[in-house]
Amino acid sequence: MQLVSLLLIGFSLFTALLLITGNLLQQFEAQLFSSKLAGFVLVICLAIIQWLNLQFILNPSEPVFSPIYIALLFCIAPSFYFYSRRLLTAKPVFSRWHFMHALPLFISFFFPVQWMLPLVFLIGSGYLAWLARAVYLLRKQRQRFKLELLALAVFFLIAIGVIMLGFIWPLISNFTFITGYSILIGLAFFASTLTLLRFPSITADVAEAAHATYTESTLKNIDRKKTLAQLNRLMTQEKLYIQDNLSLAILAEQLQLNSHQLSELINTEFQQGFSKYIRQHRVEAAKKLLLDDPKSSVLSIGLSVGFSTQSNFYTAFRDIAGMAPGQYRKQNLKQ
């Protein structure tokens, strides 16, 4: 168990560095900056906790539950809440009363650790209940998510494991608690990395589903039939999807809509978000080229239909076709 915890701590620290660096290199959207900031705080807090766990595992005689450690624990659940709030509810990240989420953190410096540690996990169970409710309210969009729901279930199981570990803390040794907690954090980092690799656009897809669930219709004065026909023409005849920089705003401008209107139109008519809608058109075009032009390389075909990188092409193709593009070509050319 100790060896597993050490391996997962190392993986967590390395992954945290990659996640922070990768996100810093991305262009921030103004309306998502606060959500991104909460995500940074979450990852940094978890990484520091893993570092402190490592110090204790290597030297169990050292005290582990310092005021800093407890303060970091109190930061995790609120930062996850603020990161998830906009994604799952389409609401602003911060509001007037959200400073209340920081009260347990300030209180933690004035009370004994024996009181604060159970309180951390009690409060965490409340945030977990909020998360369960937020996901439940998106149930109308569940047909859009398949394997993503399995990934979410894994996160729930890890979170439940953390809560249970916190409640049984008085019955176990500090060493057992720290090794178990470090393993669960490491599993959370592993699950996050695997999910982002398998579903690189999952945050955008979930945000679009939440927007479709919570916002009022913006299509009241729009001729849906005419607009859908125009959208179909842009996709099938003009093949706008081959533009690797095609965005919701660019396509909306072509249809004389705003971004919210086009997002709602695609969500309600096709039961999927904009990014998946475009990926589907690209993959369907790639399927045809893979069979019609067997001499062209798989990568060149992926780039020709609008994918910017090989990894994006392979991930999208597997997600939609259920197999790699090379396997699809080999399997269908034999028939």
Is the pLDDT at 1 greater than 70, yes or no? Answer: yes
Express each pLDDT in 158-171 by its tens digit: 888 888 888 888 88
Name the nearest CA neighbour of 113 among 77, 65, 75: 65
- For residue 40, give every residue at least 6 positions away whose Cβ sits within 8 Å of its Cβ, in sequence order, or none: 20, 23
Give the pLDDT mean for 207-235. Answer: 78
Q: What is the pLDDT of residue 31?
A: 47
Instruction: Report the alpha-carbon distance of residue 231 to residue 237 in Å, rounded.
Output: 10
Express each pLDDT in 177-201 by its tens digit: 999 999 999 999 998 888 877 777 6
Q: What is the pLDDT of residue 315?
A: 86
Is the pLDDT at 139 greater than 70, yes or no? Answer: no
Is the pLDDT at 212 greater than 70, yes or no? Answer: no
The confidence band for 108, taking pLDDT boundaries of 50, 70 and 90, is: confident
Express each pLDDT in 222-277 by its tens digit: 888 899 999 999 998 899 999 888 888 899 999 888 888 888 888 888 878 888 89
- Both structure tokens of 112: 């004994």
Q: What is the pLDDT of residue 222?
A: 81
Helix (H/G/I), strand (E/B), else coil: 320: helix
State the greatest distance between any 2 C-alpha atoms of the chain, in Å, as a whole number: 73
- For residue 147, give every residue at least 6 positions away whose Cβ sits within 8 Å of its Cβ, in sequence order, or none: 198, 199
For residue 69, the Cα-to-chain-centroid distance in whole angstroms is: 26
Instruction: Report the alpha-carbon distance of residue 112 to residue 243 in Å, rounded.
Output: 59
The confidence band for 148, taking pLDDT boundaries of 50, 70 and 90, is: low
Is the pLDDT at 335 greater than 60, yes or no? Answer: no
Q: Find out whether 53 and 9 touch, Cβ atoms under 8 Å.
A: yes
Per-position DSSP letters for 24-73, written without gaps between them: HHSPPPGGGHHHHHHHHHHHHHHHHHHHHHHHHHH-TTS----HHHHHHH
Full-prediction pTM beyond 0.85? no
Question: Of 334 and 249, which is predicted with more confidence?
Answer: 249
Express each pLDDT in 43-68 by its tens digit: 999 999 999 999 999 988 777 788 88
Is the pLDDT at 308 greater than 80, yes or no? Answer: yes
The percentage of the chain sitting over the pLDDT mark of 90, rounded to a whole number, equals: 22
- What is the phi/psi pair of residue 173, to 5°? -75, 160
Q: What is the pLDDT of residue 49?
A: 94
Express each pLDDT in 68-104 by its tens digit: 888 899 999 888 888 888 777 766 656 666 778 888 8
Q: What is the pLDDT of residue 149?
A: 64
Give the pLDDT mean for 96-123. Answer: 80
Is the pLDDT at 114 greater than 90, yes or no? Answer: no
Express each pLDDT in 28-39 by its tens digit: 554 466 778 888
Name the nearest CA neighbour of 83 among 131, 42, 130, 23: 42
Q: Where would I find the H helices in the chain? A: 2-25, 33-58, 67-89, 103-107, 113-136, 147-167, 174-198, 202-214, 224-236, 248-254, 259-270, 274-292, 298-304, 310-321, 325-333
